[in-house]
Amino acid sequence: MNKLANVWVFSSEAARLPEVMVAGLQLGDSVSVFVLGGADEVARAAALGANKVYHLGEKDSSRIVEEYALTMAKAIEAEAQASLVLLPASRRGKALAAKLGVRLSAGVFNDAAELTIDGEGHVGAKHLVYGGLAIGEEKITSQIAVVTLAAGAFKELPAEEAGRSAETITLEFVAPANGIRCLARRPKEKSNIDLGKAKRVIGVGNGIGSQDNLKLIEQLATKVGAELGCSRPIAETEKWMERERYIGVSGVMIKPDVYMAIGISGQIQHMVGVNDSLTIIAVNKDKNAPIFQYADYGIVGDINKIVPALLNSFKG
């Protein structure tokens, strides 16, 4: 595999750093990590395999992540070589990528599902297009490329090597000419789950009929030790479940050992999100539902009879 001399990595979300790091380790001979936080965050970056750690300082509640774009860009420019900047494809990550792209005159690619380096050192990137119906492939020919990674793009996460050291460089904050000042922060109510890491997931769709039927399916999820997810209409149209539980091409991509879809028809946009499941079980009253084309096991029937029967089978 071709590699670049250096890859830069940053994630404001601690949970996403290992995944972005493994991409950096695969694509670069050397990995430089920007860290926003204290000594623990610096040590973790080193433990994950960083060759250099560029310390942006302690977190400042008055600054948003994009405010560090100029500080990062100056450090990258000082290296004066072809390189790649990797960020998670979150809202903050994409906003930061845009600012870095402008400052570095770099090509920017969002939601990459796969990355390669060709013989000329150009970054090739693939992502889902047309709502997951096809895969688009593009090449970034600028000297520096900025890419945001879709969740789950790199699955083999690096093991943390406690006590590993890395060269640490402390950066002085460079304020943007026109900054954005944070006046207040309010916590967003959301689930404390990570569907992407769950080993068992039950997904529900419009076919469950009513919100009241969720209670029965929640009991089933608890009984089998599964996390509960949903199709897009359940989260965004009906609003029966939190947005964080939406599984699909523009939601969460999951890779459980077992995925059970209850009342989900099997549209491609949803199935792209569950494609890496080891086993798929479908429950639907429509025997012609597309979901059965993807399922390893299928049950045709009324969920009001099937779910109670499944619950009874797990009792005792």
Superfamily of domain 4-170: HUPs (3.40.50.620)
- The CATH number of 195-313, from 3.40.50.150, 3.40.50.1220, 1.10.3720.10, 1.10.3210.10, is 3.40.50.1220
Residue 207 — φ and ψ, nearest 5°? -70, -10
- Residue 230, pLDDT > 80, answer yes
**Same fold for the pair 4-170 and 195-313:** yes
**Cα–Cα nearest to 255, from 123, 111, 154:** 154
Higher per-residue pLDDT: 157 or 164: 164
Q: What is the pLDDT of residue 233?
A: 94
pLDDT in tens, 87-105: 999 889 999 999 999 999 9
- Residue 316, pLDDT > 80, answer no
Q: Count of alpha carbons within 13 Å of 120, Cβ hemisphere only? A: 9
**Band of the pLDDT at 188, cuts 50, 70, 90?**
low
Average pLDDT over residues 47-54: 97
Q: Count of alpha carbons within 13 Å of 145, Cβ hemisphere only? A: 26
Residues in the annotated binding site for FAD? 231-232, 263-270, 284, 302-303
**Contact yes or no for 120/45 (Cβ under 8 A):** no
Residue extents of the structural domains in the chain: 4-170, 195-313
User: Residue 144 class from Cβ within 10 Å (0-12 exposed, 13-18 middle, 19+ buried)?
Assistant: buried
Weakest mean pLDDT among 38-47, 67-76, 250-259: 250-259
- Residue 190, pLDDT > 70, answer no
Average pLDDT over residues 45-71: 94
- Residue 309, pLDDT > 60, answer yes
- Whole-angstrom distance, CA of residue 7 vs CA of residue 17: 14
Query: Across the beta sheet with 28-35, what order do the strands follow?
Result: 107-112, 144-149, 83-88, 4-9, 28-35, 52-55, 167-170
Weakest mean pLDDT among 29-38, 45-54, 161-170: 161-170
pTM of the model: 0.72
Weakest mean pLDDT among 61-65, 96-100, 176-180, 211-215: 176-180
User: Residue 219 class from Cβ within 10 Å (0-12 exposed, 13-18 middle, 19+ buried)?
Assistant: middle
